C-alpha cells in the first residue's frame, strides 16, 4: 500500500495516487473515495512527468484511447520474473485483452499462468501497466489488486467485455 505520493489524479469514485522516483513512475494506485489518502509529497524533478501522466489519465478516464508508453517506469521493486510479466502486459493495447495463459505463453513459459497472475497482483503501476486487461480463461474477470469494482470500471471504459 502506497504510504507517500507525489502525484494525485481525482476521479469520481476516488483518486489515482502515484510516486515518481528519479528513474520514473514507481507506484500508481487506485483508491476509493472513502479510503485514507497517502501522505502527499512534492517533488520538483518529477513535475514534468506528473503533468504528462495527468494529461494522459484525463483523456483515459474521458474514454479516449491512450498509450502510456512514453511514461518512464521504475519497476525495480519487482523480481526479474515480475518485471518480464509487467513489461509484456504493458504491450496489451487499449481496448484489447489477453488471458493469463496467453501472457504466460508470450513470455515463453506456457505453464506459468498462475505465476503470471501472482506477478500481475503485485503490479506497482496499474493502468500504465494495464493488468486490468488480463482476464481468466473464457473471458472471466479474474482478480485485481485494487478490487474488482475498479477492474470492471476500467474494462467498461475501454469497452472490453468480460464474464462475471
Active site residues: 131
User: How far apart (Å, rounded) are the C-alpha atoms in residues 65 and 121?
Assistant: 24
User: How far apart (Å, rounded) are the C-alpha atoms in residues 8 and 130?
Assistant: 18
C-alpha dist (Å) from residue 3 to 15, 19, 38, 123: 14, 10, 5, 16
The string of DSSP letters for 83-140 reads HHHHHHHTTSPTT--EEHHHHHHHTT-TT-HHHHHHHHHT-SBTTTS-GGGEE-GGGB
User: How far apart (Å, rounded) are the C-alpha atoms in residues 95 and 161?
Assistant: 9
Lookup: cell for 144? 485485481
Amino acid at each position: 500500500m502506497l504510504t507517500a505520493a507525489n502525484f494525485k489524479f481525482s476521479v469520481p469514485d476516488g483518486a489515482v495516487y502515484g510516486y515518481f522516483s528519479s528513474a520514473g513512475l514507481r507506484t500508481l494506485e487506485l483508491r476509493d473515495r472513502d479510503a485514507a489518502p497517502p501522505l502527499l509529497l512534492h517533488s520538483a524533478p518529477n513535475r514534468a512527468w506528473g503533468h504528462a501522466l495527468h494529461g494522459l489519465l484525463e483523456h483515459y478516464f474521458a474514454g479516449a484511447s491512450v498509450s502510456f508508453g512514453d511514461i518512464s517506469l521504475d519497476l525495480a521493486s519487482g523480481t526479474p520474473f515480475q518485471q518480464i510479466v509487467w513489461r509484456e502486459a504493458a504491450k496489451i493495447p487499449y481496448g484489447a485483452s489477453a488471458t493469463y495463459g496467453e501472457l504466460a505463453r508470450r513470455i515463453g513459459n506456457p505453464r506459468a499462468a498462475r505465476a503470471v497472475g501472482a506477478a500481475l497482483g503485485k503490479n506497482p503501476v496499474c493502468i500504465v501497466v494495464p493488468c486490468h486487461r488480463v482476464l481468466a480463461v473464457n473471458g472471466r474477470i479474474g482478480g485485481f489488486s485494487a478490487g474488482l469494482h475498479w477492474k470492471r470500471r476500467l474494462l467498461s471504459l475501454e469497452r472490453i467485455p468480460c464474464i462475471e
